[in-house]
Chains A and B, each alone.
Chain A
Amino acid sequence: GAVVSQHPSWVICKSGTSVKIECRSLDFQATTMFWYRQFPKQSLMLMATSNEGSKATYEQGVEKDKFLINHASLTLSTLTVTSAHPEDSSFYICSARIRLSYNEQFFGPGTRLTVL
């Protein structure tokens, strides 16, 4: 149980295009999902917290218009990297939290984004 999937697992795009990454909780309802960014050999940086049916809360320094997050249902959150540039290349990981379980998050396998 408690499986989180991400799609795609990797994507290569041209500079200036937009890329959408999906995060799904496969066997539970996730009232809250988190999006992280990880640079090579570094720790995870929380980008935003996404609550179902409401606007995402972004961490300081993360551009809201650049990284669009939508949490339309209890099992799906999407991250859209708009007008991607090479500096947006990174490993993006989502996690999902079950309702009323503040201290347990389940992580997706990650999406490797490369912007040429």
Chain B
Amino acid sequence: GNSVTQMEGPVTLSEEAFLTINCTYTATGYPSLFWYVQYPGEGLQLLLKATKADDKGSNKGFEATYRKETTSFHLEKGSVQVSDSAVYFCALVNAGGTSYGKLTFGQGTILTVHP
């Protein structure tokens, strides 16, 4: 079956530090990969996505590249802000099989950015 593994948190950084949150996956076929962000007390917002190998998703200074050879989709940002403090979820969805269209989430990584 499908699975997503994220680096364990929480991650605490100072403002303007470099951020990496690792994400690796196991899936059959060619899944689409996502990063979602959840702010306290809210639902999930799509941060970025990539639908095929070597695609790079980017948004709001965040980037992630779909690496099929390493089955990874690591999230990076060059300079984090206090407002980036949230929980980040890596996820995948498959186009086929019994899990068609269902999102599989990683466990989430709590990011706290201090001024």
Contact = CB atoms under 8 A, between A and B. Distances in A.
Interface string B86-115: 000100010100001111011110100000
B32 interface: yes
B101 A103 contact: yes
A43 B105 contact: yes
Contacts of A93: 43-44
Contacts of B110: 41
Contact of A103 (B32, B43, B106, B107): B32
A32 interface: yes
Interface in B49-88: 49, 51
A106 B49 CA distance: 13
Interface residues of A, number: 23
Of A32, A103, A106, A108, which is in contact with the most chain B CB atoms at under 10 Å from its CB? A103
Given A102-B93, A109-B42, A43 B101 contact: no
A93 B36 CA distance: 14
B14 interface: no
Contact of B95 (A43, A102, A106): A102
Given A49-B102, A102-B95, A102-B101, 6 more contacts: A4-B43, A93-B43, A102-B100, A103-B32, A103-B101, A109-B42
Interface of A: 4, 6, 32, 34, 41-44, 46, 49, 93, 95, 97, 102-110, 112
10 tightest A-B contacts by CB? A103-B32, A107-B44, A109-B43, A102-B101, A107-B43, A110-B43, A43-B105, A43-B107, A103-B93, A43-B108
